[in-house]
Amino acid sequence: MNTDTKSYRLWFTTLIIALLFATFLNIGSGSVSIPFSATLKALFGGEIGTISWKYIILNYRLPKAITAILVGGGLAGPGHRHAGVAVHPGRLLCES
């Protein structure tokens, strides 16, 4: 395995961990502040302090977070393609 592959693997792993951490923080924050530990317990099936926290997390915040991740990932591909075409407009003509 060459150095570039190891570097990409390290960056990819770091970004996935950062995405998960940011997602858990996002799910816990809002007009009703829910502690990080309660957020993790609710997501992984544990019992938390109040039933309303679990309801808020599972029915409102988790679907919004999953939608944001999917939409962001869906827009990243066309955005990358658009940036590549903007820099090298002739690339579209060469590809089949």
For residues 27 and 62, the answer to whether their CB atoms sit within 8 Å is yes
What is the domain count for the chain?
A: 1
Q: What is the pLDDT of residue 8?
A: 84
- For the stretch 60-83, pLDDT in tens is 999 999 999 999 888 888 887 777
Task: Tell me the residue range of the domain where 70 lies.
Answer: 3-94
Is 92's pLDDT higher than 70? Answer: no
Where b means 16+ CB within 10 Å and e means fewer, 55-78 reads ebbeeebbeebeeeeeeeeeeeee
Is 24's pLDDT higher than 90? Answer: no
* Best CA proximity match to 58, nearest among 42, 40, 44, 37: 42
Q: What is the pLDDT of residue 36?
A: 85
Record the tokens describing residue 96, joined without a space.
Answer: 């089949």
For residues 62 and 43, the answer to whether their CB atoms sit within 8 Å is yes
pLDDT band at residue 44 under the 50/70/90 scheme: confident
Query: Rounded distance, CA 76 to CA 81, Å?
Result: 9
